């Protein structure tokens, strides 16, 4: 009897967990007997991946935070190498998380393992770093941006653009009326969505500023309502303490991020994947980023080294200023409100940003990226399978 195919998956942060979980589900449809093990979060576990490590708390912003989690990550990587040596998989699937996954790819490829890289790190960049190991330590790379595939192929990689998998899953789960009824918000009133990030450090830095901005905006726009899309890693108690005594209507929405994005008139959004999700759903946003003083120095060094004009994904993809970016000391309640007034429904700023976000969405390709990625994964495995739908 032929043994089941074994696939080992490693994803680091929330966005990678979601993308990998969707890929696992698509592969299972074609290869039901495949056995999945690896590293990831709750969505991968829900998709049937046997987790050796839960990486949901591995996310770090910059070197300062990375140093805090580095010992645990180093130990996990050594243990993974031992497991992979003892039980080599038919395929190693790595998702983003470059600081951990690229060294793992080099190690695995040197030992004859097949390596499939989904979401190469920094794929939004329009140039490759001077030293790029991916072409030499992968069998197949699947990337969500067309220029990334072209650059990697020029460097000698077997790289493919399949479209962005967010297009397959970014959609609200409720109607607008259901959303308003569930959260008890006025369906005719102004709704501002608060997305302070998925990492505790991000939330703790941005949420007090968002609270004060909400109070200031409500003074100028009476009846404004504020809905907080809360990451699973955050506890209600932590949020309640920030909003204690708040005088404006606000609600917490759990497991409803896409509904909050879709049915808000404006978003205050931490820089990250959520900004691209907002672009797909076409909701105007202000992009916020605020970290400690030490991390601020690192941020400026990295921004100069990478020659970055923007940090928000919609702006990086468009290569122009679409969404206001309020970074560090510019991320004040007063500045948030000033920009918000120029982006509310009925303003020229609102209309222009919606049009620009539609252009960003068009760059991401067509829906079906996850199925196309699954097709390429099975080609890499060299097993019989159905064609992508």
- pLDDT tens across 28-54, in order? 999 999 999 999 999 999 999 999 999
pTM: 0.89
pLDDT digits (tens, 9 = 90+) for 85-95: 999 999 999 99
Could you tell me the domains of the chain? Answer: 6-165+368-381 (3.40.50.2000), 176-363 (3.40.50.2000)
pLDDT digits (tens, 9 = 90+) for 89-122: 999 999 999 989 999 999 999 999 999 999 999 8
Distance CA 2, CA 8 (A): 19
Q: Nearest 5°: phi and psi at 310? A: -125, 165
Average pLDDT, the chain: 90
**66: confidence class by pLDDT, cuts 50, 70, 90:** low
pLDDT digits (tens, 9 = 90+) for 135-193: 999 999 999 999 999 999 999 999 999 999 999 999 999 999 999 999 999 999 999 99
Helix (H) or strand (E) holding 176: helix 176-183
pLDDT above 90 coverage of the chain, percent? 73
Section 56-77 average pLDDT: 69
Q: Edge-to-edge, what's the strand order for the sheet holding 35-40? A: 50-54, 35-40, 6-11, 91-95, 115-118, 140-143, 159-161
Place of tokens 């609600």: 251
């Amino acid at each position: 009897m032929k043994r089941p195919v074994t696939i080992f998956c490693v994803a680091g942060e929330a966005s990678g967990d979601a993308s990998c979980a969707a890929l696992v589900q698509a592969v299972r449809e074609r290869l039901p007997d495949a056995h999945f093990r690896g590293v990831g979060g709750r969505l991968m576990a829900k998709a049937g991946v046997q987790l050796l490590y839960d990486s949901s708390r591995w996310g770090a912003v910059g070197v300062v935070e990375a140093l805090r989690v580095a010992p645990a990550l180093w130990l996990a990587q050594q243990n993974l190498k031992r497991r992979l040596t003892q039980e080599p998989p038919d395929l190693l699937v790595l998702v983003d998380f470059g600081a951990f996954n690229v060294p793992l790819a080099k190690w695995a490829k040197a030992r004859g393992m097949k390596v499939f890289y989904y979401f190469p790190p920094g794929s939004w960049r329009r140039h490759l770093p001077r030293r790029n190991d991916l072409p030499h330590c992968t069998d197949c790379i699947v990337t969500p941006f067309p220029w990334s595939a072209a650059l990697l192929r020029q460097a000698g990689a077997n790289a493919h653009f399949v479209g962005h998998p967010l297009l397959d899953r970014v959609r609200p789960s409720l109607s607008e009326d259901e959303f308003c009824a569930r959260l008890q918000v006025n369906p005719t009133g102004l709704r501002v969505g608060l997305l302070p990030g998925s990492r505790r450090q991000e939330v703790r830095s941005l949420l007090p500023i968002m609270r004060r901005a909400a109070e200031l905006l409500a003074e100028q726009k009476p009846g404004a309502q504020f809905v907080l899309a809360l990451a699973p890693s955050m506890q209600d108690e932590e949020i309640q303490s920030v909003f204690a005594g708040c005088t404006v209507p606000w609600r917490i929405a759990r497991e409803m991020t896409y509904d909050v994005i879709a049915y808000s008139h404006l978003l205050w959004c931490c820089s990250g994947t959520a900004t691209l999700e907002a672009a797909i759903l076409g909701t105007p946003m202000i992009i916020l980023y605020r970290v400690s003083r030490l991390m601020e120095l690192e941020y400026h060094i990295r921004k100069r080294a990478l020659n970055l004009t923007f940090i928000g994904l919609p702006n990086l993809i468009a290569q122009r200023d679409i969404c206001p970016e309020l970074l560090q000391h510019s991320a004040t309640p007063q500045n948030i409100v000033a920009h918000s007034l120029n982006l509310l429904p009925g303003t020229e700023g609102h209309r222009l940003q919606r049009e620009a976000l539609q252009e960003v969405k068009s760059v991401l390709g067509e829906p079906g990226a996850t199925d196309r990625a699954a097709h390429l994964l099975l080609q890499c495995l060299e097993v019989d399978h159905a064609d992508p739908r």
